[in-house]
Chain A
Amino acid sequence: MDHSGVPVATTAGTIVETGMSSLVPASNVALIVEGLCKTYDKTIAVKQLSFSLVVGSTTGLLGGNGAGKTTTIGMIMGLIEPTSGSIRVFGHDMAHDRHRVLGRMNFESPYVDMPHRLTVRQNLRVFARLYGTSEVERKIARLAEDLALVEFLDRPSGSLSAGQKTRVALAKALINDPELLLLDEPTASLDPDTADWVRAYLEAHRRDLNCTILLASHNMAEVERLCDRVIMLKQGSLVDNASPAELLARYGRSNLEDVFLDVARGRVKGKNRVDS
């Protein structure tokens, strides 16, 4: 198998090939995506995608517009039904058992909003109750402190700037201390200072809580900084799956942006060549 991340049965129990040149016990795997396909009429959005995420890792989902990143995240969240293939989160099949794990996941996306007329505090209270968070007010106070939201807590969410809204959305995504966090372009439309601040926060959060993060992004510097591994997609297919350092070595480039351009323009030297 080549970076597919599918489970492998052994006498020692199920283990998973993660693409990290080692086999990992299934109990240490947060997410297994296997043979995932999504077609809309005659358009193929995602084609035979397989990968897995080790607990505590941060993985970047890279690809140009229409590469299938948002569709993939949508399928993992259960908002989009795959045409075929399977998704297992902490061992639970998302097609039949998603309500057993939804409380252990969360997500943030600039394409999804929160009620504008509710204050930040009210929004966080509602989501805290939906997720069954204990000690709600203390949790909100801590997140507000961590994400510099204290002065905005009692303002309507719709009155905030893009950067403030992103931090609120991040607070919502962290309200249940998720074990699996899905982020779709978490720093899109943020100024460089706020974006850097968000990245630092995510790094610290992952380190402190051993959270698993899947991050779709167009920002190569962000991916290089945050991710242990990078999954590269093109036209819905997996092109490569490796650590940033391995990708740089494999493509003979000094930064991920050039690797991305090689993949996007078909100048592929990686293991899963798109064309020659």
Chain B
Amino acid sequence: MSNPAVLSLRRIGAMVLRYTYLLRSSWPRMLEMIYWPAVQMLTWGFLQTYLVQARGVAPNSAAITAGALIGAVLLWDILLRGQQGFSFSFLEEMWSRNIANLLMSPLRPTEFVVALMVMSLIRLAVGVVPVTLMAIVFFGFNLWALGVAFAAFFVVLIVFAWSVGLLVSGILLRYGLGAENLAWSLMFIIQPLGCIFYPVAALPSWLQPICWVLPPTYVFEGLRSVLIGHVLRADLMLTGLAIDSLLFAGAAFGFARLLASARRAGTLLQTGE
């Protein structure tokens, strides 16, 4: 018998296989994953083009010319789709009333979570990578050309996305599909507070400390710094990653507590619609 304390790649692989079967079974589902990021990118890309052409309208033409809007929307999609890729894979188990089958199998919760993280990356690869390539073709903006900076942005964003996904999954386990809307909407609170399209300084001073608690704020400030000043602010990235680590640990703790609470409340056997 394998040591149950050790994570099993076989079991993680089984869950990833389960979700890839699901993705492969539906081309509309695959299309939908590309559709919204593409629409977002095109909308903001054309807005950026317009602002560059009408320079008198643009309050900060340097940032806009450098692609801050389209860069921000692409990174925002990584954040949003990363969380949704995690949460929607989990929701599939709730919708299909499969949670009890999984939780009484040898699959450990940690392995389940790792599989959801892998799926979030796979869904990002399917949904966002083609859109970043479209951005090069349509607007000449190459996110990949940011190199190390992009890698740092990605890590900070995806860890935050997983933290939110983990917390939402715990809430779903405990409170059932009544909490489903959180999976769709929770990340949108980041849109105004994460300072995606404007600097933190644009917000009222009382709101700014709240923004600096959110790791995405560091990424979007960092993006503007790279695009306008051509400087990768390592301090921003390290601070963002440190806060990320704390939030992920908190989310993991919250997930474990919510799972334990669901076992106590007996809700794991009643997870369907």
| A158 nearest CB across to chain B (Å) | 8
Report yes or no: A40 in contact with B266, Cβ–Cβ below 8 A: yes
Report if B181 contacts A (CB, 8 A): no
Report if A129 contacts B (CB, 8 A): yes
Report yes or no: B101 in contact with A127, Cβ–Cβ below 8 A: yes
Report if A261 contacts B (CB, 8 A): no
Chain B residues whose CB sits within 8 angstroms of the CB of A1 once the complex forms: none
| B100 nearest CB across to chain A (Å) | 4
Which residue in A71, A79, A115, A129 is a CB contact (below 8 Å) of B10? A129
Which residue in B4, B17, B105 is a CB contact (below 8 Å) of A131? B105
Report yes or no: B266 in contact with A80, Cβ–Cβ below 8 A: yes
Which one of A109, A119, A122 has the highest number of Cβ atoms from chain B below 10 Å of its Cβ? Answer: A122
Interface string of A51-62 (1 = CB under 8 A from B): 000000000000
Interface string of B9-33 (1 = CB under 8 A from A): 0110111011001100110000000
| B17 nearest CB across to chain A (Å) | 6
B100 (CB) vs chain A CBs: closest residue: A112
A129 (CB) vs chain B CBs: closest residue: B14
A126-B25 in contact given A40-B265, A111-B269, A131-B105 (Cβ < 8 Å): no
| A15 nearest CB across to chain B (Å) | 25
| B10 nearest CB across to chain A (Å) | 6
| Total count of chain A residues near the partner, CB < 8 A | 37
A129-B104 in contact given A111-B269, A115-B98 (Cβ < 8 Å): no
Chain A residues whose CB sits within 8 angstroms of the CB of B10 once the complex forms: 129, 132
Q: Roughly how many angstroms separate A77 CA and B104 CA in the complex, as a whole number?
A: 6
Q: How many A-B residue pairs have CB under 8 A?
A: 104
Report if B260 contacts A (CB, 8 A): yes
| Total count of chain B residues near the partner, CB < 8 A | 37
Interface string of B234-273 (1 = CB under 8 A from A): 0000000000000000000000000010011110111010
Report yes or no: A102 in contact with B106, Cβ–Cβ below 8 A: yes
Q: Roughly how many angstroms separate A51 CA and B101 CA in the complex, as a whole number?
A: 25
| A52 nearest CB across to chain B (Å) | 20
Report if B182 contacts A (CB, 8 A): no
Chain A residues whose CB sits within 8 angstroms of the CB of B1 once the complex forms: 100, 103
Q: Roughly how many angstroms separate A112 CA and B97 CA in the complex, as a whole number?
A: 6
Q: Roughly how many angstroms separate A132 CA and B268 CA in the complex, as a whole number?
A: 24
| A245 nearest CB across to chain B (Å) | 33
Report if B205 contacts A (CB, 8 A): no
Chain A contact residues: helix, strand, loop or mixed = mixed
Chain B residues whose CB sits within 8 angstroms of the CB of A117 once the complex forms: 22, 25-26
| A48 nearest CB across to chain B (Å) | 18
Report if B108 contacts A (CB, 8 A): yes
| B259 nearest CB across to chain A (Å) | 10
Q: Roughly how many angstroms separate A129 CA and B15 CA in the complex, as a whole number?
A: 9
A115-B17 in contact given A80-B269, A81-B260, A130-B106 (Cβ < 8 Å): no
Report yes or no: A122 in contact with B21, Cβ–Cβ below 8 A: yes
Which residue in B14, B103, B260 is a CB contact (below 8 Å) of A79? B103
Q: Roughly how many angstroms separate A51 CA and B209 CA in the complex, as a whole number?
A: 59
Q: Roughly how many angstroms separate A256 CA and B178 CA in the complex, as a whole number?
A: 41
Interface string of A88-123 (1 = CB under 8 A from B): 000000000001101101010101111111110010
Which residue in B96, B107, B264, B269 is a CB contact (below 8 Å) of A130? B107
A129-B17 in contact given A99-B4, A117-B22 (Cβ < 8 Å): yes
Q: A40-B265, A80-B263 are in contact. List 16 more A-B contacts (CB 8 A).
A: A71-B266, A77-B100, A80-B264, A80-B268, A100-B4, A102-B106, A112-B101, A113-B98, A113-B272, A115-B93, A118-B21, A126-B15, A126-B21, A130-B102, A131-B105, A132-B10
Binding site for B on A (CB under 8 A): 38, 40, 45, 70-71, 74, 77-81, 99-100, 102-103, 105, 107, 109, 111-119, 122, 125-127, 129-132, 156, 172
Binding site for A on B (CB under 8 A): 1-2, 4, 10-11, 13-15, 17-18, 21-22, 25-26, 92-93, 96-98, 100-108, 260, 263-266, 268-270, 272
Q: Which 4 interchain pairs have the tightest Cβ spacing?
A: A129-B14, A99-B4, A113-B97, A81-B263
A–B pairs, 18, beta carbons within 8 Å: A74-B268, A74-B269, A77-B100, A78-B263, A79-B104, A79-B268, A80-B269, A100-B1, A100-B4, A113-B98, A113-B272, A115-B22, A115-B96, A126-B21, A127-B101, A131-B106, A156-B25, A172-B101
